[in-house]
Structure 1
Amino acid sequence: MMNARKVVVDVLNEVFFKNSYSNISLNKALKNSNLASSDKALVTEIVYGTIKYKYTIDIILKKFIKVKFSKLDKIILNILRSSVYQIRYLDRIPDFAVVNEGVELAKKYSSLKSSKFVNGVLRNYIRNLDADFLSSRDKIKVIAFRYSFEPWMVNFFIKQYGIENIDKILSGLNSTPNVTVRVNLLRGSYDETFNKLQELGYDIEEGSICPEAIEIKRGSSIENNPLFLKGNFTVQDESAMLTVPCMEIENDMYVMDLCSAPGGKTTHISELSNNTGTVYAFDIHKNKLKLIEQNAERLGITNIKCDVMNASEYNEKFKGKADRILVDVPCSGLGIIKKKPEIKWNKSINDLKELCGLQEKILQNASKYLKKGGILLYSTCTLNKDENENNIKRFISSHNNFKIEDIFFGDVSNVNYDKYGVTILPNEHMDGFFMCKLRKLW
């Protein structure tokens, strides 16, 4: 168990002090470890949980630590953070066991003095579990402490979606995501894949909205699953699965995906076109195109052409060429916090403002590549209305040759319909997402 706790602390150090992505650091650490599957699952839970609840945990720790965090040994700080997470949010690990593990870890990787410090802080916390750590009645601070979000982000969501939606949004972003897969109908029917997954011992259920979605509630790692290796499905959040069907893909079309890596939506276009026509997959990073090519090969797709292109720079040779265009723009990612909880801590209000200009450029260029009568689908995985509805408002006001077409997924509790697009609020099944369908009139 000591090795498992050391992996936790190492990953937290990478995320909190080196600005690493949690999923990349965690996957690398687990791959290089010799941990059993059960220990890997525990490490994953503690890592994501500690990152998710960092704001609340730090407020608690400051009640028992008199020195500034910047003066603490990084290993010791993250031992304390991960220990408080386990004591406060996990039921199955006894408090005394958490303390003992933390003390031994500090002793082995720091010093005897540090281990005594860890012991004192954690035992003091256990004696005061029911204390009022916040000592404030400020509405924003109370919500921020409860859900562990920076107050500016809580205030941001309230201003954009109203106080009546704040609990739904923040609890959705804090939920633990299950793996969701999209069935590749080029390889077999939905029922065939569903039944085979059950035969392999997976606890699964149908998706909430998308007819190709299967949610995996429990089961072994997907990457070694024989159905995955044969290309029967792709791992993708259900919110993201909903974009491509809105594009009205038909056989033998010329389709462009301007920001395509890692290729989940690109391959979906190919599947819905029955592997006909041509799907042009562009990305600014050449190394990321390999991911698309590898996915396409696994899925049995042959109609994708990958190339490097900066979507924010206009390319005259594509003018008026495309029947359909997908513009899944780079965004602030506020809708996928449950998968990348470090977004809570590495984004600022200024970061959100800076992206809109880039997104507008990409949308402007895409509009010129589209044929008359063609469809442009704009999407993001954020909940920032400036990157979503307001970008569409600005575009439509200066492009009277485009009209917004309706998207309707039914009367679903977490789907909000607006004249400028559709917002999917995050919940335990789906990420936060936005999409808008635009038709070129002339």
Structure 2
Amino acid sequence: MTNNDREIILETLLMVTKEGAFSHQALKNVLDKYQYLEKKERAFITKVVSGTLEFMLQLDYIIDSYSKVKVKKMKPVIREILRSSVFQIMYLDRVPDAAICNEAVKLAKKKGFKSLSGFVNGVLRTISREKEKISFPDLATRYALPQWLVTYWQQDYDSEVIATMGAAFLSRAPLTVRVNEGKIAVDALLTKLAKEGITARKVPDFPAAIELTEIDYLEKSESFRAGEFYVQDLSSMRVGVVAAPKEGDYVIDVCGAPGGKALHVSELLKGSGQVSVRDLTEYKVGLIKENIAKSGLTNIQARVQDALVLDEQAVAQADIVIADLPCSGLGVLGRKPDLKRRITEADLSELATLQQEILAVVKAYVKPGGKLLYSTCTINKRENEDNTGKFLAANPDFSLVSEKQYLPGIDPGDGFYIALMQRKTHG
């Protein structure tokens, strides 16, 4: 790879770590800007940026073990050059270590740090020599997880489960999509994607799901632009399956952006019934409306509605209320490495309280005999099982139908929680 690719990597990492950009947005902006690059160059940039951010807590431990100047005291440019280079040394086989060291030194000089080029060279060559001997003292370092989070999880899970989840977060999760079967059959889409040069395969036990590999730029896919498939994780697809809408049902999705679950339910209704999907802001509802327009579905509408404010018109109207609520996102750490740096233990408590407050409002929309589905993409009993227990204790007119915590590396898909509750029929 060229030194220009490494300069782009550095630019992207600084956007995230120095300027506070979200990694997926920074990477998208950079890949949009450099669309002219070869596919293999774009893949290299993506791999190194994503890998550096995912493994950052571990990379910092390695660098601190071999550098007199600790990572926190380094100049931002030098810090990101070292992190991305150590990621390549530890986890990429294609580029020889000597070349990684040389390119890092050249980049440090190019960025005006000639006086530190010897330091960069020395640290990287030492790590390269010693890499087979490097070991990690604990689960947090081994799996690049915040120590507070590992300690927190140890209240509920044994070390083996945490290690399995940690390894799953660091592995390359496949891109799963749900086929819009109202527009195209699964087999027909597989054939079409093959002609587009995209490798795809069916996912066992998920009838409308396929995994995509060898895909460079999703927006280039004619099938994607035509709304023939929708990017959605397997765990998220379970919501529609567990909700099990029957033809003619009226469904309200109270925090629905960007619309994947509501669209799935709309498809399962086979053109019947109605789905009202809501979210807090015009921007989020705009995303939902874009996806509805692409889908071609007509039994679904989007509107702005604060889930904490009671919609009087909706009281006791819904056969199903889907409450996929704002959460800590600990089940998707593999896809959102920013969370490792941003989320705090205090956030978990605040989010659990917010979820309780929303459930206390939206329960009113469930008609007698109707269903309330509560879900999150997190692994945290306080937000999940405890909240469901509190809700049921406070609302004896609801009963628990089913409850499941899905764990990454143990169950297919992201970490996810789903509880299905039913309102009793009075009289």
Q: TM-score range by the shorter chain?
A: over 0.9
Specify whether residues 341 and 209 from structure 1 end up closer, same or farther in structure 2 by C-alpha distance, changes over 3 A only: farther
Letter in 2 for 1:158: Q
Q: 1:285 to 1:130 in 2, by over 3 A?
A: same
Q: Choose which of 263, 266, 290 in structure 1 pairs with 2:262.
A: 266
1:74 corresponds to which residue? 76
Comparing 329-338 and 10-19, the one that deviates more: 10-19
C-alpha separation between the residues in 1 aligned to 2:398 and 2:272?
Answer: 27
Establish whether residue 11 from structure 1 lines up as the match of residue 12 from structure 2.
Answer: yes
* Corresponding residue for residue 341 of structure 1: 337
Aligned residues: 422
Partner of 2:324: 328
Q: TM (normalized to structure 2)?
A: 0.94
Map 1:246-265 → 2, pairs under 5 A: 246-265=242-261
AA aligned opposite 2:263: T
* 1:249-297 deviation line (CA, Å, top 9, x unaligned): 1233221111111111111121111233321111112111111111111
Q: CA deviation at 1:72?
A: 2.0
What residue in structure 2 maps to residue 164 of structure 1? 160
1:436 aligns with 419
How far 1:68 sits from its partner (Å)? 4.2
* Cα distance between partner residues in 2 of 1:395 and 1:436: 11
3-state SS of paired residue (1:372): strand
Kindly indicate whether the alpha-carbon contact (under 8 Å) linking 1:4 and 1:35 is maintained by their aligned counterparts in 2.
no
% same residue: 36
* Letter of the structure 2 residue corresponding to residue 274 of structure 1: K
Residue type of the alignment partner of 2:127: Y
Letter in 1 for 2:169: L
Moved more, 242-251 or 187-196: 187-196
- 1:379 aligns to 2:375 (yes or no): yes
Kindly provide the amino acid, as one letter, of the partner of residue 107 in structure 2: L
Cross-structure match for 2:201: 205
Residue matched to 1:390: 386
> Counterparts of 2:271 and 2:111 in 1: how far apart (Å)?
54
1:103 to 83, 102, 105: 105
Q: Is the 8 A contact 1:178 1:429 kept in 2?
A: no
Gaps of 5+ in 1: 135-140, 407-420
Q: What residue identity is the alignment partner of 1:29?
A: V
Q: Which residue identity lines up with residue 407 of structure 2 in the other structure? A: L
My pick for the range that moved more, 260-269 or 79-88, is: 260-269
CA apart distance, 1:78: 0.3
The separation in 2 between residues aligned to 1:2 and 1:287, in whole angstroms, is 38
Contact 1:207 1:238 in 2 (8 A): no
Aligned 8 A contact 2:223 2:229 in 1:
yes
Match of residue 407, structure 2, among 405, 410, 425:
425
**Is 1:405–2:401 an aligned residue pair?**
yes
Partner of 1:276: 272
TM-score scaled by length of structure 1 = 0.91
Q: CA RMSD in A?
A: 1.7
- Alpha-carbon distance between aligned partners in 1 of 2:135 and 2:370, rounded to the nearest angstrom: 56
1:356-380 Cα offsets, whole Å, 9 max, x none, are: 1100111111111111111111110
What are the residue-to-residue correspondences of 1:281-292 with 2, within 5 Å? 281-292=277-288
Tell me whether 1:127 sits opposite 2:123 in the alignment: no
User: Which AA in structure 1 matches 2:3?
Assistant: M
Q: How does 1:157-196 map to 2 (within 5 A)?
A: 157-196=153-192
Q: Distance in 1 between matches of 2:8 and 2:52?
A: 13
- The more displaced of 214-223 and 320-329 is 214-223
Which stretch of the first structure deviates more once superposed, 218-227 or 319-328? 218-227
CA-to-partner distance for each residue in 1:330-378, whole Å, 9 max, x for gaps? 0000000111112122212111111011001111111111111111111
